[in-house]
Amino acid sequence: MNNIFAPVLILMLSFSLLNSHAQEITYPSFGKGIQIHANDSSFYAKIGFRFQSLFSSSLNLENDVRDRSMMIRRSRLKAEGWALSPKFSYKVELALSNLDINGENKVEFGNTANIILDAVLKYNFAPSWSLWFGQTKLPGNRERVFSSQKLQFVDRSLVNGRFNLDRDLGLQIHHKGKLGNLIVKEAFSIAMGNGRNVIINDENGYQYTGRIEFLPMGEFTAGGDYYGADLAREKSLKMAVGISADYNNNAFRSRGNLGSFLVDPVSGDYITDDLNSLFVDAIVKKNGFSSQAVYAIRKSANNTGDFGVGQGLNLQAGYVFDNNVEFAARYTNIDAEIISSLSDQTEYAFGFSKYFLGHNLKCQADLSYHDLEYPDDDFLRFRFQVEFAL
């Protein structure tokens, strides 16, 4: 069972058992998944599947070399729901595509495929309070907490790719409250700090993350502060501003939760450093128009050059027309420290999306120019993607 088919077989078996005992199995509509309610109302489950087919082509502007590829960028199985009562909820998400599961031959992953994305239990122990335990996304920058299904462009920005906190194992507490008309959301996390599915014994330290958000104009329609494009066509101006701060004690991966595992070639010990990260992000939506911004900065205590430290800025905006076609533009700048595993880079991108059924069925394309620091060559890139989510 130690292969990619194991989680698929387990999920299929689970569905068969549920099907034989469930009081009700419903298929509300495309994009809503398969929903199951137990005979005795002791659990609820929603099971879904999605994939992204991606074509990419790039042109090196210095030597005219062209590259192209086509792949299943992401393929995911998802299940979420509750047990005993809605106070005890859960989420499981499994990766199936090669790009998602590459983790074999690394002792940190037990020399096996890196399949599990999310496996988290959530306990709503008081009104507006919930406690999470397991593996899931840390409360980092907004763009990272966006589902990769619900992006405005083909993929997240370079700022997210270089600085995001990603998934980890640990404990989180979430709260939402109001101060007059102002909605405030807070989250705090204590995690292992090594990224998802790392199983080695680790006494290096923990990762501490805190986030606070302000929504001065009330809630977005259908959770619109956490998906790209204004598909809900907000009737009035909506805005959300968030700040996340993170401290990763004795990190031994080049980007904290992500990147290569850093090992001293002489001693064989991990190279460690304390990483401090800060994110400030905002999103605005009204009547089909949306804009997002994020600023990120990461510093290391010892500045050895092994870690990805520096700062980045991403600005993007788009407009959804009445025919559910969106045009968008993006500007991204990465400003690496002089001693860093990152390098300076600027991206200018234009995007196109056609939403057939929101983010559940869409096609997207973007064309971008990448200005890289010498001696790396500048390049143009075109990408086209189809998203399907059951």
What is the residue-averaged pLDDT of the chain? 92
Stated pTM of the model: 0.92
Residue-wise pLDDT for 278-310, tens only, equals 999 999 999 999 999 999 999 999 988 899 999
Contacts of 170 (CB under 8 A, 6+ apart): 133, 189, 190, 191, 192, 206, 207
Average pLDDT for 28-57 = 91
Confidence at residue 1, expressed as pLDDT on a 0 to 100 scale: 42
Confidence at residue 86, expressed as pLDDT on a 0 to 100 scale: 94
CA–CA separation, 292 and 120 (whole Å) = 28
- The enclosing H or E element of 236 equals none
Q: Check pLDDT > 90 for residue 385.
A: yes
Does residue 180 or residue 118 have the better pLDDT?
A: 118
Average pLDDT for 204-227 = 95
pLDDT band at 28 (very low <50, low <70, confident <90, very high): confident
Class of domain 5-389: mainly beta
CA distance to 1, 198, 278, 295, 338, per residue, from 258 (Å): 27, 11, 16, 19, 21
Residue-wise pLDDT for 171-214, tens only, equals 999 999 999 889 999 999 999 999 999 998 877 889 999 999 99
Confidence at residue 15, expressed as pLDDT on a 0 to 100 scale: 55
If you write DSSP's letter for every residue of 112-148 in order, what string do you get? S---EEEEEEEEEEETTEEEEEEEEE-S--HHHHS-G
Question: Which bin fits 256, alpha (ψ -120 to 50), beta or left (φ > 0)?
Answer: left
Contacts of 377 (CB under 8 A, 6+ apart): 60, 61, 62, 63
Contact (CB, 8 A) for 287 and 321: no
Average pLDDT for 157-184 = 95
